[in-house]
Amino acid sequence: MQDFLLSIYLWLKAGHIIFVIFWMAGLFMLPRLFVYHQEAPEGSAEAAAYVERERKLLKIILLPAIIVVWVLGIALAIAIGAWDQTWLHVKLLFVLILSGYHGYLSAYAKKLARGERPLAGRTLRLLNEVPGIAIAIIVILVIVKPF
């Protein structure tokens, strides 16, 4: 299995990077939609439109992207035999954090769809920084491999 994965390593890597970009784009976009959604009057057609936009972003872009990112990432780790490398463990920690963030955003979308608005717009704008910080750390871990 490892030999086969190594033979298609560059294709796996390209696919992984492509789907990371899709996933990150969605993780940056969703909190911004939440801000606009919360600024729309409750029960309005505009608020309903944001519910639909958020649902489509989650189901059409974010869910497939996170699945492919994980599958290809595991395949890459198997291909290069990286399971015993500290940089990979730290990277996986940050990918788990991003995955949890993704789950949190998904749950928040459901709250907004029910008409609940527990967070302020400012908080949502700050949440928008989470994926940027995490991806910067992940890229450094993968490229520099500091440990």
Tell me what pLDDT residue 121 has: 87
For the record, the structure tokens of 51 come out as 């519910």
Nearest CA among 18, 15, 113 for reference residue 58: 113
Residues 6+ positions from 1 with CB-CB distance below 8 Å: 78
Is 16 part of any known ligand binding site? yes
d(CA 93, CA 11): 24
Per-residue pLDDT tens for 131-141?
999 999 999 99
Q: DSSP letters of 49-116? A: HHHHHHHHIIIIIIHHHHHHHHHHHHHHHHHHT-TT-HHHHHHHHHHHHHHHHHHHHHHHHHHHHTT-
Packing angle, helices 45-56 and 86-113, rounded to 10: 150
**Amino acid in the structure at residue 53:** R
Per-residue pLDDT tens for 4-33?
999 999 999 999 999 999 999 999 999 999
- Whose tokens are 């309903």? That residue is 48
Whether 53 has a pLDDT exceeding 90, the answer reads yes
Per-residue pLDDT tens for 56-101?
999 999 999 999 999 999 999 999 999 999 999 999 999 999 999 9
Tell me what pLDDT residue 134 has: 96
Per-residue pLDDT tens for 27-38?
999 999 999 999
Tell me what pLDDT residue 44 has: 95
Q: Where are the beta strands (DSSP E) in the chain?
A: none
pLDDT above 70: percentage of residues in the chain: 100
Tell me what pLDDT residue 64 has: 98
